[in-house]
Structure 1
Amino acid sequence: MRHASPRDTVPDNTAPPAEVIAIRPGRPLEGTVIVDGSKNAALPLLSAAAVVGAPVRVTNIPDSTDVHTMLGLLVGAGFDVVHIPGEAGSMVITPSRRHRIEAELLTAASTIRASYYLAPALLGRFGRARLPWPGGCRIGDRGMEQHFRVYEAFGDRCSTHRYGYEIQRSRAEQGTVSVALPFRSRGATIVAILRAVVSRQELRLSTPNLSPETLGVVGALESIGWVKAVERDLLVLTPPTETATVHDLTWTVPGDKVEAGTLACAVAATRGTARIEGVRAGDLAPALEHLRRTGVVVTEHVNGIEIDARHIARDELPIHASASLSPSGLDADFEPSLLAFALGIPGHHAFADTINPGRHANLIPQLRCMGAEIEEVSPTQCRFAGPQRLTGAGVETTDIRTGAALLIAGLTAQGITTLGGLEQLRRGHADLPGKLRALGADICEVTP
């Protein structure tokens, strides 16, 4: 096995790929494609591996830049990240004897939202976590209030400054910790879980986020003896009664549900048929239900889904999609791709995303550049009638999900669409345009 260095885990920018691609409409998408591991699931799982105090082999790690950044942060925080030869996307995370946090890597933490998952690991190793405010996509404020509520419930001391925040670990840790979240924050839920692991305390969390990403971390902890009790409004985690050393621990990052949902919308928008493998169909059930309502035939398999949109009905089939944090609700990351798909469907459609209040402000102006007529009811709600005829234009990837939606729109627009800002798209996907090309999409690189 080869030890990673910060240079290994941060992408090499000496020969960057093209930052602009051209998209032309063509034949319906068809074929088979395999999704990568989920960025949203990998980031908390890597952080969980850093708090268990034993070597953890993590497999199916996606090759996206946000994940590279997190791996670099772990190295800088005193953890060994070891690449497994011959196993792409597999690494072993284990504590090392290095105790110095490299300042340049903590500066890099400001580039991703999930840097807050690193705080529990820092508390476990150093008793203190000092981090910049979360960054990432510009889709609204990155509030940390619920995170601070979690740490204060554990007795930690939180302070803030202009550029970030600091947490001092409590010296009196014992008994059960109860936390009540005002809403189902995924970040705060996972932070509460990781903080409980650091101090080996029982956690009773009210109004938890029960997304697949959260339950993936809970399932990983079960493999080392933690006991869970999950209800809709209460999550209880109890530490193992024994302190035996854990050996041969392997966790696998699940397939990317959002990438699968994006590909499904692209296939449906072009009236194609394709098989999307490497994902659990149940993880994207709310998105698939919206596709089914428009006449798309969705067949679920053990390790994937099949999309057949060749015979979508021509009747009015309105789509009303609202992002939700409820256990059975629509993940906000599905909403932009569904919106792009709905532009080509007959009916009066309505979309809302109050979770990421800046996302519509990113996406809708770009779609209007392509001729879309969309009424903004509020900064987080919009409505429009379909089908609409889009025209190719020069548009920009301002955040990960906006880029995915613009790819879908470009596949159905008349003429050529040029999409820039691909560094944002690569934060969440190693090569989403390449997967669409594998299904027959006419996408090529353009020299800026």
Structure 2
Amino acid sequence: MNWLAEHPEVRTIRVAAADLNGVPRGKRVPARFAQKLLTEGTKFPYSVLNMDIWGEDIEDSPLVFETGDPDALLMPTERGFMPMPWLGAPSALLPIWMFHADGRPYEGDPRQALARVVDRYKAAGLTPVVATEMEFFIIDDSGKTLRVPPSPRSGKRRTGAETLSLRALDAFDQFFTRLYDACEEMDIPADTAISEAALGQFEINMMHQDDPLKAADDAWLFKMLTKGVAREFGFAASFMAKPYDVWSGSGLHMHFSLLDAEGRNVFDDGGPKGSDTLRHAVAGLLRAMPGSTLIFAPHENSYDRLVPNAHAPTGIGWAYENRTAAIRIPASGPKARRIEHRVAGGDVNPYLMIAAILGAALNGIEDGQEPPPPFEGNAYDKGLDQLPGTWNDAIEAFGTCPEVKRIFPQHLIDNLMMTKRQELHYMAELTDEETIELYLDTV
């Protein structure tokens, strides 16, 4: 309540949880009921966290008619109240997550799934240190075709991509200044911003932190915030995997290392290659990659990004300091030795993505798995085993993968399978224009 007491101007609260697609689901509540939210929580149907991308019930889900669509209990996360700087009226956001009435975590909640993986690490005496790289497009979607918006400074539109261009960043300086100020208000650790390889595409990195749940919260909240701030300037910010056919898509890369009880990085062996533990983690990531592709590429549009020679990995392999690899070991000092996972698109649910990566790495460490040798050169030319090439293939692989079953509870696996099969069925009815309209703001 301290934050609310310091902001008496706040009149309304939004309570929100992430569904399986990462879409915020919640309620608007008058601020005078804030104390009740903190002590008693609120209630949603269980089915609300298991809706399709349109926000519709899953037709064959046992959470709906079969069981009477019962309510679950949702309680505040550790985050507490925070501002919603993109709204015109002073408002507060209270992130929440789902439990049963008796206090047990609900296994269909993506945030609870990540907490389950974090608990496995705690039991092993390890602490993951996590950072994400958030790529997104800013888009003028006011006409029939998508275009880069005009610069608020010059009124001109960019005509080409300008990788690491200060001119491209400065053209939207007002937007980025507003976005960084809002990140500071929301305690989102936004670090470096760059212009990326596609028209109107940018990336903002998050600082490393030793709390994977907060890292996932930050990525989820950053998406919400960036979309809202962009609309203040009259354009859209989109994290969809590939809004333009002719340009590369957006990824959501994750870097992580692991600390032991003494705070030492267990990936560090004092040399450039990393420890046995690093190799075991890489092996676990590679083994789980086909089955977990649905987490990293959850939508139909996701597979337009995962094509050869488009700055996104398609082969299952690892390498040192090589951005064509699905798993990259960046060049660094030994104490900063870490793994970069490069498969996920910007359209992912951050909770499920981080859970899938950390869970697979821990599988490999627990089993002492050894990866194949790292490759050198262009991954697209190496004849590597390939990721599932279609959405349908990824759905089927997810449902049968033993590594995935070690990471996620069966209830969540079943729910996500039903969700994606329903979306696959109804997406076939949409035109390309309708598909873009659907994904542009929702993911």
Shorter-chain TM-score bucket reads: under 0.3
TM, length-normalised to structure 1? 0.28
Which structure: greater strand fraction? 1
TM, length-normalised to structure 2? 0.28
Q: Which has the higher contact order (CA 8 A, sep 6+)?
A: 1
